[in-house]
């Protein structure tokens, strides 16, 4: 009964996330006006910014869960951290891909070693390395401990990515404020940020359920040996 209730809640969350993404996409593509300087290509902002936000949110969750695991040794924190890294890697890769699509018509080049782009690429590589580390250890406790250490150290690059446009001269635009964006563009951006956050929560719940099943199978296999 409890499992059915939980599955029902997950489905409703998934439907809410899907509905929010659809509304946000329609608003961004057909209602919000084009940018005066960049034209229609600026509409990539409504996806590019939310994917970047989800990537950083995911890695922050990994950072917190890694600390909690080292303090409490509770495997739940490790499973949440593992789930967060997988989601963060996907959304960070999407951020770089969408950024390249935006860069070509605005900068005239698909990729440049701009500080924001470079530090984001390094961040992606580091967290891919986190996933590789998990494959090096067969013992679940050792794997979780190693991963937690990497999850904490890797987070150092996250604030560097965010502050890179402030610390160095860069092609990438500096962080925008609510006052610097026209309301007719700000509201669909907020909606898409909220929509992608719902998507993140849904994916985290589903991936955590899978992590539970993987851990149970691993324990049963170990007992069978």
Taking only the tens place, the pLDDT of each residue in 63-72 is 999 999 999 9
- Determine contact, residues 164/170, Cβ cutoff 8 Å: yes
Read off the tokens for 9: 């809640």
The torsion angle over the Cα atoms of residues 50, 53, 54 and 59, rounded to 10 degrees, is 170
Average pLDDT over residues 111-131: 94
Query: In angstroms, how far apart are the furthest CA atoms of the chain?
Result: 66
Of 91, 89, 62, 58, give the one whose Cα is nearest residue 78: 62
- Name which residue leads in pLDDT, 42 or 157: 157
What is the CA 108 to chain-centroid distance, rounded? Answer: 27
Which pLDDT score, from 0 to 100, does residue 38 have? 87
The whole-chain average pLDDT of the chain stands at: 91
- Name which residue leads in pLDDT, 49 or 179: 49
Q: How does residue 225 score in pLDDT terms, banded at 50, 70 and 90?
A: low
- Encode pLDDT of 176-196 as tens digits: 666 678 888 999 999 999 999
| 3-state secondary structure (DSSP) of residue 39 | strand
Which pLDDT score, from 0 to 100, does residue 137 have? 82
pLDDT value at 170 more than 90: no
Average pLDDT over residues 195-220: 91
What is the CA 51 to chain-centroid distance, rounded? Answer: 6
Q: What percentage of residues in the chain have a pLDDT greater than 70?
A: 95
Average pLDDT over residues 71-86: 96
User: Which range, of 84-93, 123-132, 170-179, 193-202, averages the lowest pLDDT?
Assistant: 170-179
Integer angstrom CA distances of residue 27 from 77, 161, 170? 37, 29, 30
Q: How does residue 119 score in pLDDT terms, banded at 50, 70 and 90?
A: very high
Residue 78 CA to residue 184 CA, distance in Å, equals 41
Read off the tokens for 148: 């937690």
Of 77, 58, 79, 80, give the one whose Cα is nearest residue 68: 77
Residue 93 CA to residue 149 CA, distance in Å, equals 23
Which pLDDT score, from 0 to 100, does residue 208 have? 94
């Amino acid at each position: 009964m409890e499992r059915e209730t939980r599955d029902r809640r997950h489905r409703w969350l998934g439907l809410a996330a899907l509905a929010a993404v659809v509304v946000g996409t329609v608003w961004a593509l057909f209602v919000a006006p084009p940018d005066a300087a960049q034209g229609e290509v600026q509409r990539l902002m409504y996806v590019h910014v939310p994917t970047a936000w989800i990537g950083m949110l995911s890695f922050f969750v990994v950072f917190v869960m890694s600390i909690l695991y080292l303090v409490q040794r509770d495997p739940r924190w490790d499973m949440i951290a593992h789930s967060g890294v997988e989601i963060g890697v996907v959304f960070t890769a999407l951020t770089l891909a969408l950024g390249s699509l935006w860069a070509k018509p605005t900068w005239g080049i698909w990729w440049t070693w701009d500080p924001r782009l470079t530090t984001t690429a390094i961040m992606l590589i580091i967290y891919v390395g986190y996933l590789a580390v998990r494959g090096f250890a067969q013992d679940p406790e050792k794997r979780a401990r190693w991963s937690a250490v990497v999850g904490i150290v890797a987070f150092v690059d996250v604030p560097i990515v965010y502050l890179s446009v402030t610390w160095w001269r860069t092609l990438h635009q500096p962080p925008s404020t609510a006052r610097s964006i026209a309301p007719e563009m700000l509201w669909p951006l907020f909606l898409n940020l909220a929509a992608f956050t719902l998507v993140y929560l849904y994916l985290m719940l589903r991936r955590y359920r899978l992590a539970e099943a993987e851990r149970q199978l691993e324990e049963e296999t170990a007992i069978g040996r």
